[in-house]
């Protein structure tokens, strides 16, 4: 005999009776519906209800997962833009693009307070965890590019413009460092004073004063490049006497770092400080007009322009609606 389907009214009656702990025999007696038919209809209704509850639960999980995914992508984007900015220290520019990103993925770009980087972990975080965290950041970066591929030309802005400019800087800076040491050393040798370098070393108690002067000169050139003041005339160094002491200090003038180059004390301290100040300024003026400094200036401008383009496009105000209307492989179904 074919089992008949219950009407909505009959099904509701069966459900209410069953919820009241009625037996299937009692339900059959009170409704006139065969107990097997009633039980089959009730079981089918329960399965349907469970599926609906499961669907709702999955919707909640998917919504929460998507929210976490979106927040992670936005956080990564902000950290990325911050790290793409041209650094104030010249030493941080000597890594090429590949080396830069290799180091970048080791940082806490997702700002997780409970994450301890491998450099400071004291065995609190297993290496597998650090590797998983790195891979997560790499995957989220790919996700960011997928979500924004219609708005951002990643290959042009990041790879061709920013990346190539960074690679060029990484090639130029070691050459400029070597050139600066040579120029400073040449100006020291041009001074008409016997044993000048030896006297500078003794009076300043600096093991390698030429190298220290060269680093200072490089510092002010880099600052000129960052501030777009490479062609601005004027001294970059000054000599200052220390009060209540027979000593003199050579500074790189603010805003060009404002750091001590060499400090002198002794009977000839003023004369030596004057010579060092003049040598540093001569070297800085010579190198600021050179081809390498000009090339660095052009590459830095390219990096800045590319970074500002990404900063504008990846602002959370712009990025949030982009993520909401697009999909990547990591987005929950």
* 24-40 tens-digit pLDDT: 888 888 888 888 888 88
**pTM of full prediction above 0.85:** no
Residue 241 forms beta bridges with which residues? 248
Residues 222, 226, 231, 236, CA torsion sign: negative
Whose CA is closest to 237, among 209, 215, 216? 216
Which one has a higher pLDDT value, 291 or 32? 291
163-218 pLDDT per residue, tens: 999 999 999 999 999 999 999 999 999 988 888 999 999 888 889 999 999 999 99
Count Cα neighbours of 98 within 13 Å in the Cβ-side half-sphere. 0
Q: What residues does each domain of the chain span? A: 155-303
Binned at pLDDT 50, 70 and 90, residue 159 comes out as very high
pLDDT grade for 128, boundaries at 50, 70 and 90 = low
- Mean pLDDT score of the chain, rounded to an integer? 87
Distance CA(214)–CA(4), nearest Å, equals 96
Per DSSP, the residues of 189-206 read HHSS-TTHHHHHHHHHT-
Which positions ≥6 away from 180 have C-beta within 8 Å? 214, 217, 218, 221, 283, 287
Q: Which helix (H) or strand (E) holds 249?
A: strand 247-252
Question: Which residues, at least 6 apart from 50, have a Cβ–Cβ distance to it below 8 Å?
Answer: none
Q: Is pLDDT at 326 greater than 80 in this prediction?
A: yes
Pick 11 or 290 by higher pLDDT: 290
Task: Give the integer Cα–Cα distance in Å for 146 and 5.
Answer: 50
| pLDDT at position 57 over 70 | no
Within 13 Å of residue 13, how many CA atoms lie on the same side as its CB? 16
What is the per-residue pLDDT for 109? 94
Q: What is residue 105's predicted lDDT score, i.e. its pLDDT?
A: 95
198 contacts: CB under 8 Å, gap ≥ 6: none
- pLDDT class of 149 with cuts at 50, 70, 90: very high
Give helix 35-84 / helix 127-147 axis angle, nearest 10°: 90
């Amino acid at each position: 005999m074919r089992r008949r389907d219950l009407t909505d009214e009959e099904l509701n009656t069966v459900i209410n009776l069953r919820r009241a702990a009625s037996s299937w025999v009692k339900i059959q007696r009170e409704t006139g519906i065969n107990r097997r038919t009633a039980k089959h209809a009730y079981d089918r209704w329960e399965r349907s209800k469970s599926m609906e509850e499961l669907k709702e639960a999955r919707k909640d999980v998917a919504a929460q997962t998507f929210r976490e995914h979106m927040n992670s992508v936005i956080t990564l984007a902000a950290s990325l833009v911050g790290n793409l900015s041209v650094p104030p220290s010249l030493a941080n520019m000597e890594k090429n693009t590949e080396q830069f990103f290799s180091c970048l993925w080791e940082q806490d770009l997702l700002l997780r307070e409970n994450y301890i980087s491998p450099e400071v972990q004291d065995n609190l975080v297993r290496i597998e965890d650090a590797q998983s965290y790195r891979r997560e950041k790499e995957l989220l970066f790919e996700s960011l590019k997928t979500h924004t591929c219609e708005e951002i030309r990643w290959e042009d802005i990041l790879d061709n413009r920013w990346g190539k400019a960074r690679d060029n800087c990484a090639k130029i800076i070691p050459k400029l460092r070597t050139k600066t040491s040579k120029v400073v050393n040449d100006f020291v040798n041009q001074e008409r004073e016997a044993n000048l370098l030896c006297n500078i070393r003794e009076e300043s108690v600096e093991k390698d004063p030429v190298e220290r002067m060269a680093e200072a000169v490089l510092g002010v050139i880099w600052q000129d490049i960052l501030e777009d003041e490479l062609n601005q005339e004027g001294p970059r160094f000054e000599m200052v006497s220390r009060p209540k002491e027979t000593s003199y200090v050579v500074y790189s003038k603010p805003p060009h770092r404002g750091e001590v180059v060499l400090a002198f004390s002794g009977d000839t301290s003023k004369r030596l400080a004057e010579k060092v100040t003049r040598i540093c300024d001569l070297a800085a003026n010579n190198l600021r007009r050179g081809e390498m400094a000009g090339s660095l200036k052009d590459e830095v401008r390219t990096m800045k322009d590319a970074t500002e383009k990404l900063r504008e496009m990846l602002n959370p105000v712009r990025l949030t609606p982009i993520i909401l209307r697009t999909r990547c492989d990591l987005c929950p179904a």
